[in-house]
Amino acid sequence: MEDQQRLTDAGQKISFIPKLSQAFFNLNGHFRSRYQIQGTDGSNRLVLICLGLLNVVLLITAVVLGVNCAKVREGSFHVSHSAVAPIIDELNYLRSNHSDVIEAEEEAKNTLERAVKNHTQLKEKIEQQKTINDNTQKQVEELQKELINLQSNLSAMEENCGRCLSGWVHYNSSCYFFSYAESSTDTKNWPDSRAECIRRGADLIVIDNKEEQRFVSGSIGNMRGTQDRLRNSFWIGLTDTEIEGTWVWINNVTEVEQRYWMDGEPNNSHHHGEDCATAVYSPSNPWKTRNDINCNSYQRHWICEMTSN
Task: Examine the pLDDT at 23 and tell me if it is beyond 60.
Answer: no
What integer best gives the mean pLDDT of the chain?
A: 80
The answer, yes or no, to whether residue 13 has pLDDT greater than 70, is no
- Residue 23 backbone phi and psi in degrees, to 5: -90, 130
Which CATH number does the domain 169-307 belong to among 3.20.20.70, 3.10.100.10, 2.60.120.10, 3.40.50.620? 3.10.100.10
- Residue range 46-51: average pLDDT? 82
Contacts 24+ apart (CB under 8 A), 158-163: 162/309, 163/308, 163/309
Comparing 178 with 159, the larger pLDDT belongs to: 178
- Across 92-105, average pLDDT: 79
| Across 19-23, 47-51, 114-118, 186-190, least confident range | 19-23
Contacts 24+ apart (CB under 8 A), 35-43: 38/13, 38/14, 39/8, 39/12, 39/13, 39/14, 40/8, 40/10, 40/12, 43/8, 43/14
Query: 31 falls in which pLDDT band (50, 70, 90)?
Result: very low
Residue-level pLDDT at 157:
63
Higher per-residue pLDDT: 32 or 116: 116
Share of residues in the chain with pLDDT > 90 (%): 35
Per-residue pLDDT, 1: 42
Per-domain boundaries in the chain: 5-79, 169-307
Closest CA to 308 of 170, 198, 215, 166: 170
Q: How far apart are CA 149 and CA 48, in angstroms?
A: 148
Question: What does the pLDDT read at residue 4?
Answer: 45
Higher pLDDT, 158 or 249: 249
Q: Tell me: pLDDT of 39 over 70.
A: no
Q: Is the pLDDT of residue 30 over 60?
A: no
From CA 201, how far away is CA 174, in angstroms rounded? 13
| Band of pLDDT at residue 70, cut at 50, 70 and 90 | confident
* Residue 19: band (very low, low, confident or very high) from pLDDT cuts 50, 70, 90: very low
Q: What is the model's pLDDT at position 68?
A: 74
Q: What is the pLDDT of residue 286?
A: 81
Per-residue pLDDT tens over the stretch 132-177: 999 998 899 889 888 887 876 676 666 556 689 989 999 999 999 9
- The radius of gyration of the chain's CA atoms, rounded to the nearest angstrom, is 69
| Residue-level pLDDT at 302 | 97
- The pLDDT, as a whole number, for residue 16 is 44
> Who wins on pLDDT, 67 or 291?
291
pLDDT tens for residues 221-246? 888 655 666 778 999 999 999 998 89
